[in-house]
Amino acid sequence: MSTDSLPGPKRFPKAALILGWLLLLLGLLHWLFQPLPAWGLSQAGLSQAGLSQAGLPQEPQEPQVAVLASAAQTAEGGRLFANTCAGCHLNGGNIVRRDRTLKLKALQRNGIDGPGAIARIAAEGIGRMDGYAKVLGPDGPEKVGAWVWKQALENWPRSS
């Protein structure tokens, strides 16, 4: 009796295994990058998500002119940003969620209208982003908020 005729476990073709892994990876990527639903959000949550009460996108508002911090505070904000935030937000981008950048248009679209709102998000977090109040220290979120807002108004110059 030959060993070819013996019953044994059936093997899946290699292509089927590869296809299964690819589908699993695509599902994971879809889950990671899908927009968060706006169901059950308060008016503040809708505003942060850039939606009106009816669930429609809000018109971007003109940026509020903020009192710029001193040069020393701005430099400190830049240093804190480089040490804490730049890993995900290099040059104002976002490596985790492409639509959540720190560019002026994206900030406006998401209802972030000044350095105070940026400081609040840096401290408390938003969506999938954790808050960094402890890491940034006292008045660190405000310094980062002022620096980020200045960069956004200047279209994130490469030299900074």
- Classify residue 119: in a domain, yes or no: yes
- Give the CA count within 13 Å in the CB-facing half-sphere of 79: 8
CATH number at residue 138: 1.10.760.10
Full residue range of the structural domain in which residue 137 is found: 71-153
- Classify residue 62: in a domain, yes or no: no
Bridge partners, 131 (sequence order): none
- Classify residue 16: in a domain, yes or no: no
CA distance 144 to 56: 30
Mean pLDDT value across the chain: 76
Cα-trace Rg, the chain: 23
- Classify residue 136: in a domain, yes or no: yes
- Classify residue 118: in a domain, yes or no: yes
Give the tens place of pLDDT for each residue, 116-152: 999 999 999 988 888 999 999 999 999 999 999 999 9
CA distance 84 to 90: 11
Q: How many domains does the chain have?
A: 1
Average pLDDT over residues 38-59: 48
- Classify residue 45: in a domain, yes or no: no
Against a cut of 0.85, is the pTM above it?
no
Average pLDDT over residues 91-99: 86
* Amino acid sitting at position 116: G
C-alpha dihedral sign at 61, 72, 100, 135? negative
